[in-house]
């Protein structure tokens, strides 16, 4: 049996891969098997990966909201768009978790031109220049032209110091962060020129997916108990992480929802944050 990828390409259906993605949602092996047995009669030759995802998401949600929320992480990152402003805020939170102080949207003069820097992150003797590349399609890839462009920006700051967080210092490293995939050429180019990459699936042991699952740093767009309008309200008030709700449930006061729904949101948020793979 074959499935149709987002690109239109037909590939062989891989049951082990599907079950692996289901298990990463936190579902037990028994739940994964149960979901597959329910899905099986509805899966047909040529089914799209999008429809497979929708089917698995719906069945996981029957078991637990948090299973479906964790399973939907890639889509949730895409929902931080359309322009990527909230993705930059979320990336800053990733660096905060690693004990960096951060600022977003800084205009800084380089040697030749002025640049808008997505995230500045500082810790000890490190000051990082972080470029965020947001993509809103499921199979988007960052080609080598993007790190080439980013390298030129990094180089334009050579010899210059900046004052942030009470310190005057130069940028010590450049980071390119994306919710998309990296091509082999973009990885090779970045490695040669000492650019740090963080993508959906790269580096393998510390990719965005792994970092989020390991530390519970889920964006609020993961939540299945909150509709789009409510997510927009939370994002606008600076509630970027599901953890923000767990740490301060008063964040939900801006939502005009019944106490029962609020309790369900808090339960899903708590299960998400407390689960670690």
Greater confidence (61 vs 209) lies with 209
Greater confidence (71 vs 1) lies with 1
| pLDDT surpassing 80 at residue 83 | no
What integer pLDDT is reported at residue 137 of this predicted model?
79
φ, ψ at 173 (rounded to 5°): -165, 155
Greater confidence (119 vs 67) lies with 119
Greater confidence (31 vs 107) lies with 107
Q: Which two tokens mark 268?
A: 């899903």
Mean of pLDDT values over 220-234: 92
**Cα 132 to Cα 260: distance, rounded to the nearest angstrom:** 37
Q: What is the pTM of this model?
A: 0.80
What integer pLDDT is reported at residue 81 of this predicted model?
79
Mean of pLDDT values over 25-46: 83
| pLDDT surpassing 50 at residue 191 | yes
What integer pLDDT is reported at residue 277 of this predicted model?
46
Greater confidence (85 vs 102) lies with 102
Among the residues of the chain, which ranges form H helices?
A: 15-23, 29-39, 49-63, 65-71, 73-78, 85-97, 145-156, 184-192, 208-215, 228-236, 242-247, 259-274
Mean of pLDDT values over 28-39: 83
For residue range 4-19, what is the model confidence (pLDDT) as tens digits?
Answer: 876 678 888 888 888 8
Q: Which of left, alpha, beta for 105 (phi over 0: left; psi -120 to 50: alpha)?
A: left
Confidence at 231, pLDDT banded by 50, 70, 90: very high
Of 5-9, 25-29, 73-77, which has the strongest mean pLDDT? 73-77
What integer pLDDT is reported at residue 275 of this predicted model?
67
| pLDDT surpassing 80 at residue 179 | yes
């Amino acid at each position: 049996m074959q499935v149709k990828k987002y690109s239109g390409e037909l590939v062989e259906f891989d049951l082990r891969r599907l079950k692996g993605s289901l298990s990463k949602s936190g579902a037990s092996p028994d739940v994964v098997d149960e979901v597959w047995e329910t899905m099986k009669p509805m899966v047909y030759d040529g089914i799209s990966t999008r429809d497979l995802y929708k089917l698995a998401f719906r069945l996981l949600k029957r078991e637990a909201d948090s299973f479906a929320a964790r399973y939907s992480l890639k889509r949730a990152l895409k929902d931080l768009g359309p322009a990527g402003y909230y993705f930059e805020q979320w990336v800053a939170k990733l660096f905060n978790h690693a004990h960096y102080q951060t600022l977003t949207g800084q205009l800084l003069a380089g040697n030749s031109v002025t640049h808008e820097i997505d995230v500045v992150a500082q810790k000890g003797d490190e000051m990082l220049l972080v470029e965020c590349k947001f993509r809103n399609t499921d199979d988007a890839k960052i080609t080598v032209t993007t790190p080439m462009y980013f390298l030129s920006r990094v180089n334009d700051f050579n010899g210059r110091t900046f004052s942030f967080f009470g310190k005057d210092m130069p940028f010590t490293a450049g980071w390119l962060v994306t919710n998309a995939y990296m091509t082999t050429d973009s990885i090779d180019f970045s490695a040669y020129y000492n650019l740090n990459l963080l993508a959906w699936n790269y580096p393998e042991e510390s990719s965005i997916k792994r970092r989020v699952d390991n530390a519970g740093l889920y964006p609020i767009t993961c939540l299945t108990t909150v509709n789009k309008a409510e997510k927009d309200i939370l994002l606008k008030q600076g509630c970027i992480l599901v953890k923000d709700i767990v740490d301060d449930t008063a964040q939900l006061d801006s939502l005009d929802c019944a106490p029962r729904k609020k309790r369900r949101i808090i339960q899903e948020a708590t299960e998400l944050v407390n689960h670690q793979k």
